[in-house]
Amino acid sequence: DGMGLVISGLTKSLAKYNFDVICGIDARGFIFGALLANKYKKPFVPIRKKGKLPFETISQSYQLEYGEAEVEIHKDAIIAGQKVLIVDDLIATGGTAVAGVQLIRRLGGQVECCSFVIGLTELQGIVALKELEINVEVLVSY
């Protein structure tokens, strides 16, 4: 029942957006992203931690509190001009989401919105995305 409520809430918050592809961020973004992709009948594209994807990729590094990490996407996952929805469970500092936006843009895609189940507002990740002129939707903020 809880998952149904989350997907219903995400769907309502996304009604004003038009997108062609749904990207989920490793790993819990895969759960929500895949369910939304099924609901909307749209392709699902994973944005994964470095070294996890089986085909040719591009990568983007980002800062962590304790160092640096990288995420990757398949080179052929996004067609130039496609409108993309990025989904994850949580937005905190925004490093992974910002890296995902940068990957989509490098492939010529347009990020229509980043959608999160939970937002930790004090950690400024939402602000970081808005500075990139990205629409952000969050179901629950703390």
Residues with a catalytic annotation lie at: 28, 65
Q: How many helices (H) and strands (E) does the chain have?
A: 4, 7
Buried b (16+ CB within 10 A) or exposed e, 61-89: ebeeeeeeeebbbbeebbeeebbbbbbbb
As a whole number of angstroms, the longest Cα–Cα distance in the chain is 39
Give the integer Cα–Cα distance in Å for 98 and 40.
24
Q: Is the peptide bond before 37 cis (omega within 30 degrees of 0)?
A: no
Give 50's DSSP letter: T
